[in-house]
Amino acid sequence: MKRSSGARLCATAAVGALSLALITGCSSDETKKDAKGSGDASSSAPASSSAPAAKALTKAELEKLLLTQGEVKGYKVASGDDTLPKSKSVVKSDKAECEPIIWASGALAPGDTDVAVSNSVTEDKASTATADPKNLADAFDINLTFVGLSSYEGDGAEKAMKAVSDGVKACAGGYTVTTKGEKTKVTKVAPAKGSGLGDESVPFTENVDLDGEGTATVNGEVVRKGNTVATFYTVNFASFSTGKVAPIPPALLQAQIAKLK
């Protein structure tokens, strides 16, 4: 049996504990607004810069803007994830221009700020797992989304969005990321159709190598509203074997952006 099957089962066992660099972390033991209406990763035009310089929120203020349990019907909200990278310093890439994408994929701030918070939102489906292995895949057909919020002084939020947009273009041919000694290869980064929410957004997809046993395509989107930037990255392990791409749940996107100031 190919290791890809073992990789998917190992990964799904950690469905509540995933980041871009951890998608293939189990494999070695058998076992990641568009311009409104544009449908690509070029961020939409930012709001006029004639307004007073923005002030960053405090971490406590930002925490209050994260989604909480009960605010999105059909989803469970968990306050953080122990296996997501705790800081940018633990995530290394062979291409510096790709780092904003990597940070956004791990629910870290894609721009230059220390004010950032995150949580995870999981589709609330009754488990269909039984002793019959034929039903095991259905039990893992669950969308898991990592959500990060970060706040910036002045034009820092706009600069963060540009860094992500530039990264999508510069990293089209892929890159390698190393976390805790584990290397993950992203073979392709491409613009995608986004939600059209916020003041501007950058949607993208990534093709992640599954330890040489095929690739998984994952959706991400970075949205700015005022001087707050929200990042979304959705994974569905069951989709890895089908080639289907799990979308970022629209209800989740809408609910989270609606809470931003």
Write the DSSP assignment of 205-229 as a string of letters.
EEEEE-TTS-EEEEEEEEEEETTEE
- Tokens representing 115 are 């004010």
Q: What is the pLDDT of residue 19?
A: 46
**CA torsion through residues 5, 9, 11, 15, sign:** positive
Mean pLDDT by 10 residues, the chain (261 residues): 38 37 43 40 46 83 96 90 78 94 95 95 68 58 93 97 98 93 93 95 95 89 98 89 86 97 74
Name the domain count of the chain: 1
DSSP structure class, residue 103: H
Token match 């990789």: residue?
A: 7
Rounded Cα–Cα distance for residues 55 and 230 (Å): 16
pTM for the whole structure: 0.80
CATH number for the domain including 19? 3.40.1000.70
Q: What is the pLDDT of residue 61?
A: 97
Strand partners, 228: 151, 225
The three-state secondary structure class of 258 is helix
Q: What is the pLDDT of residue 137?
A: 59
Q: What is the pLDDT of residue 206?
A: 96
216: domain range? 3-45+52-259
